[in-house]
Amino acid sequence: MNKNSLKLLLISSPVGPLGPGLTGGVELTLRNVASDLVRRGHQVTIVATQGSTGWGMPLVEISGTVQTSAQTQARDTPIIIPPASVLAGFWDYARQVQFDYDLIVNFAYDWLPFYVTPFFSRPVAHLVSMGSISEAMDEIIEQVVMAFPGTVAVHSHAQAATFTFGDRCRCLGNGIDLSCYNFCPEPEPWLAWMGRISPEKGLEDAVAASHKTGIPLKIMGVLQNQDYWQQILRDYPKAPIDYLGFFSTSELQEHLRQCRGLLMTPRWVEAFGNVAIEALACGVPVIAYRRGGPAEIVEEGKTGFLVEPDSVAGLVEAINGLDRINRYTCRQQAEAKYSTQAMCDRVEQWLYTILMEWEKRT
Ligand code: HBI
């Protein structure tokens, strides 16, 4: 094996194709990590569902039935594998080609990749994209954590803390390609909210804050739950809100950079909160509930404000303090901690460590 040029098989989320944004944060992470690994001389192949983009990198498209999103599951939901499962297709393919690679990296939050890990003759690294959701997932992730120490990574300490075995997970943070985000020193008066429009993202609180302050709110992201969105429109008919749609990164940052601030209102433990570092990269301060990954990204009073979870009044108070934040500081923090290079340094070290441990065992 040539450590300066590892042969890596990256297996994506089975909930939908890479490109239209349905796989959320996983897509951004996978794309940025894969691109930077290639830049460093590693050979990367991406495995994803039919209809995905590989952004110019070698791509293997697997057809089959997509997996139900784990976010729809309760703690006792059993693991469901549908007929013609694309997830099963991903891992049968990986089994067949494993000897062409030094290491396999799993980006899916699913039971099967963890279950089959011991059957492989190559190390499998798992980057877990969300906090604890179900007993079955916790159990199977813990089995890999115990059998293959160091091979399971997360994005934040808050996310790790949702698992009983969190202290044995490697915390990698996240990173974005800062060259895609243009700093804006003089914003427009409006606020931004970005993310999948779905109950766990708490959009209604941001809309309530917009209604109370009268400050326009630009909403961007995949409209995943129509009923939820319609309910918000019925509850806040007079709020000055605009749903702009779902954008590629370059268009997204064009809207985002002009905003006075980004509101993050997660109802659940957001594993990381990519939108927070996207905002900082544009110089946009972040107002976030003190919950999950965003609470580790926002530096109180320096790059934004952390608010009592689920407190609309807290959001309003923070909005009134936005002018105290220096927008240059926001960009500087993104460059210091959340560039793709910084993230890929952490990923590369993680993979090298796994390979060293593997060689000791075999
Ligand atoms: N659900 N079953 C399943 N598998 C995933 O990989 C997955 C998911 N839900 C959401 C998701 N991945 C991504 O949006 C993460 O970025 C959160």
User: Got the DSSP string for 166-184?
Assistant: GGGSEE----B-GGG----
Q: Name the architecture of domain 178-337.
A: 3-Layer(aba) Sandwich (3.40)
Q: Is 15 in the pocket of ligand 1 (CB under 6 A)?
A: yes
Q: Which atom of ligand 1 is nearest to the CA of 108?
A: 6
What is the model's pLDDT at position 346? 96
Residues contacting 178, CB < 8 A, separation 6+: 281, 334, 335, 338, 339, 340
Q: Is 128 in the pocket of ligand 1 (CB under 6 A)?
A: no
What is the model's pLDDT at position 279? 98
Q: Is 24 in the pocket of ligand 1 (CB under 6 A)?
A: yes
Q: Is 288 in the pocket of ligand 1 (CB under 6 A)?
A: no
Q: Which atom of ligand 1 is nearest to the CA of 27?
A: 16
Helix ranges restricted to H, 5-65: 25-39
Please report how the helices 226-235 and 203-213 are oriented relative to each other, as an axis angle in degrees rounded to 10.
20
Give domain limits for the chain. 7-175+340-361, 178-337
Distance (angstroms) between ligand 1 centre and the Cα of 174 equals: 16
Order of strands, edge to edge, in the sheet holding 59-62? 59-62, 43-49, 7-11, 103-106, 124-127, 152-154, 170-171
CA-closest candidate to residue 282, choices 170, 188, 149: 188
Cα→Cα distances 45→37, 48, 86, 109, Å: 11, 10, 17, 19
Q: For residue 317, what is the enclosing H or E element? A: helix 312-320
pLDDT under 50 in the chain at which residues?
A: none
Q: Among all chains, which residue has been given the structure tokens 């605009």?
A: 242
Three-state DSSP at 161 gives helix
Distance (angstroms) between ligand 1 centre and the Cα of 324 equals: 36
The C-alpha torsion from 272 through 274 and 277 to 281, rounded to 10°, is 170
Q: Is 13 in the pocket of ligand 1 (CB under 6 A)?
A: yes
Three-state DSSP at 96 gives helix
Name the token pair of 323.
């002018």
What is the model's pLDDT at position 3? 86
CATH class of 7-175+340-361: alpha beta
Whose alpha carbon is nearest atom 8 of ligand 1?
A: 69
Q: Is 108 in the pocket of ligand 1 (CB under 6 A)?
A: yes
Q: Which atom of ligand 1 is nearest to the CA of 68?
A: 2
Q: For residue 6, which amino acid is it?
A: L
Q: Among all chains, which residue has been given the structure tokens 């693991």?
A: 79
Residues contacting 359, CB < 8 A, separation 6+: none
Q: Which atom of ligand 1 is nearest to the CA of 130?
A: 17
**Cβ atoms < 10 Å from Cβ of 3:** 12
Mutation test residue for ligand 1: of 15, 22, 31, 194, the one with most atoms within 8 Å of CB:
15
What is the model's pLDDT at position 22? 62
Q: DSSP string covering 227-285, please? A: HHHHHHHHH-TTS-EEEEE---HHHHHHHHTT-SEEEE--SS--SS-HHHHHHHHTT--
CA-closest candidate to residue 344, choices 6, 57, 34: 34
Helix ranges restricted to H, 82-215: 86-97, 111-116, 135-147, 157-161, 203-213
What is the model's pLDDT at position 21? 64
What is the model's pLDDT at position 28? 86
Q: Is 303 in the pocket of ligand 1 (CB under 6 A)?
A: no
Residues contacting 54, CB < 8 A, separation 6+: 18, 46, 48
Domains 7-175+340-361 and 178-337 share a fold: yes
Long-range contacts of 76-83 (CB under 8 A, 24+ apart): 76/134, 76/135, 77/134, 77/136, 78/136, 79/111, 79/112, 79/136, 79/137, 81/112
What is the model's pLDDT at position 71? 86
